[in-house]
Copies of this chain bind each other. A is one copy, B any other.
Amino acid sequence: MDVTIYEVAKRAGVSIATVSRALRGTGPVAARTREKVLKAVEELNFTPSRLGVSLAEGRHAANGVVFPDLAGPYYAEVLLGYEEVASELGRSVVILSTKGRTRVGDLIKDLAGRVDGMLIFGHTVPEPLVAELVRLGVRLVFVSRDPLPGADTLRSENTGSARALAAHLREHGYERYAFLGAPLTSRDDVDERWQGVRGVLGGAIEAVATGQYTVECGHEAATKLLKGAGRPRAIVCSDDEVALGALLAAEELGLDVPGDVAVTGWDDIMAARHARPALTTVRQPMRELGARAARALDELITGARDTPSHIVLTTELVVRSSCGQHPQEVPT
């Protein structure tokens, strides 16, 4: 953009203060004067400079978001929910991906200087830096992370659903289990799932790591697992993508799911319903996590709330056919 408020003022024959008031509706402006101003604005195609406005208002009207990656539906879904609500609230969204990035600290600080607050996924940001951000007074909302002082946290319930899932599997009568996608990078949510499942299954379940939480890694790890000696009767996966990989591996090895091996996921991404067999999983409200994060941030920024909130959204066990036969099968 190019034309400034001064040119509008000159053309309308008024002061810049009047132009500002006329445009924002703050303070009184004579009807006649407003006309003149609007006409000038129209003719010059004037749009207030975002930089000027922000500097004067002392706010960016923008939110940040920090994620490791955008592979798979999880981050994308949360991000969309976040962006949608942020947009409703008149705030832009500035993104920062950390995967494979060096000097993350600098990038985050730069981001902090561009926004009024930010959403950070799990443990994307190193702990000392988090502490520093909190100390600097940056408004933060963490998604999928354990509560910490000085910032909001927002997550889905894990332990309880994991226990319910494990209990359901046990009812199928299985004896040997594997948890595929062991919590590596201190992902709180995956860790909780593992703890919940193990709480019920005890020594009957062993943890197996995958490099990342992707279809490919799940595929690879499951292949090794299913080919190995003591093949598990059921594989509980950290998330749907890993589970999709496990499904693939089983099929390639000529194993029937759930006949030879049962498989479960987590998240209930779109593909879970369409997988063959349809995936038993735990539904997590991803979109809503993002939407809530945006609202929480807004409350923090506007000052509508000043004490951190820690919200846990409920999840839902979705039993489909990949975990075993059920008495009265209900089509999904």
Is A229 an interface residue, CB under 8 A from the partner? no
Instruction: Give the contacts of A49-74 with B (CB-CB under 8 A).
Output: 49-52, 54-55, 60, 62, 69-71, 73
> Please, which residues of chain B bring their CB within 8 A of the CB of A92?
94-96, 110-111, 114
How many copies of this chain does the complex contain?
2
Check if B113 sits within 8 Å of A87, measured CB to CB. no
Cα A71 to Cα B6 with chains together (Å)? 44
Check if A274 sits within 8 Å of B216, measured CB to CB. yes
Is A83 an interface residue, CB under 8 A from the partner? yes
Query: Knowing A113-B50, A274-B216 touch, does A71 contact B76 (C-beta < 8 A)?
Result: yes
> Please, which residues of chain B bring their CB within 8 A of the CB of A107?
87
Is A242 an interface residue, CB under 8 A from the partner? no
Which partner residue on chain B sits nearest A109 by CB separation? B47
Interface stretch (choices A32-40, A171-179, A244-252): A244-252
> Please, which residues of chain B bring their CB within 8 A of the CB of A70?
70, 76-77, 79-80
Check if B80 sits within 8 Å of A1, measured CB to CB. no
Cα A45 to Cα B114 with chains together (Å)? 17
> Please, which residues of chain B bring their CB within 8 A of the CB of A323?
none
Which partner residue on chain B sits nearest A107 by CB separation? B87
> Please, which residues of chain B bring their CB within 8 A of the CB of A137?
2
Query: Knowing A113-B47, A215-B274 touch, does A95 contact B95 (C-beta < 8 A)?
Result: yes
Can you name 8 A-B pairs with beta carbons within 8 Å? A51-B51, A62-B94, A69-B80, A80-B97, A84-B97, A84-B100, A87-B97, A215-B274
